Amino acid sequence: MDFFIASAYANDAASPQGGSFMSLAMLGIMVLIFYFLLYRPQAKRVKEHKNLVSSLSKGDEVLTQGGLLGKITKVTEEKDFVQVSFSENVEVAVQKAAITAVLPKGTIKSI
């Protein structure tokens, strides 16, 4: 049976050049790239959204994540919801985190 399959013999392995310092340097560079390209911009967006949500007040015109434009009619501090009026006699409770942007005054009338 030995004539069908050639025997494989291992060669002497060459020792790796460069050592562990180069590996640690590359790992450090990858961590820095990850921090500056991924983590830092996302943390900045989260901080801006948290400030936006905490500054909501009655009368603000807002855009929701669903793309609806409305005016805030009631804000409660103890709950995580605001009352938003989308048209006459239509008020909906919207979670504060679902508010995407606060629009300039008069935006709803101009649309």
Domain range for 32 is 19-55
Domain assignment present for residue 106? The answer is yes
Beta strands in the chain (DSSP E): 61-64, 69-75, 81-87, 90-95, 99-103
Domain assignment present for residue 2? The answer is no
Q: Please report, for the domain that includes residue 83, its CATH number.
A: 2.30.30
For the entire predicted model, the pTM comes to 0.69
| Residue 1 pLDDT > 60 | no
Q: Which of 6-10, 38-42, 64-68, 77-81 has the lowest mean pLDDT?
A: 6-10
Count of structural domains within the chain? 2
Domain assignment present for residue 13? The answer is no
Question: Which tens digit of pLDDT belongs to each residue from 44-82?
Answer: 999 999 999 999 999 999 999 999 999 999 998 888 999
**Same domain, residue pair 63 and 103:** yes
Q: What torsion do the CA atoms of 86, 88, 92, 93 make, to the nearest 10 degrees?
A: 90
**Same domain, residue pair 101 and 66:** yes
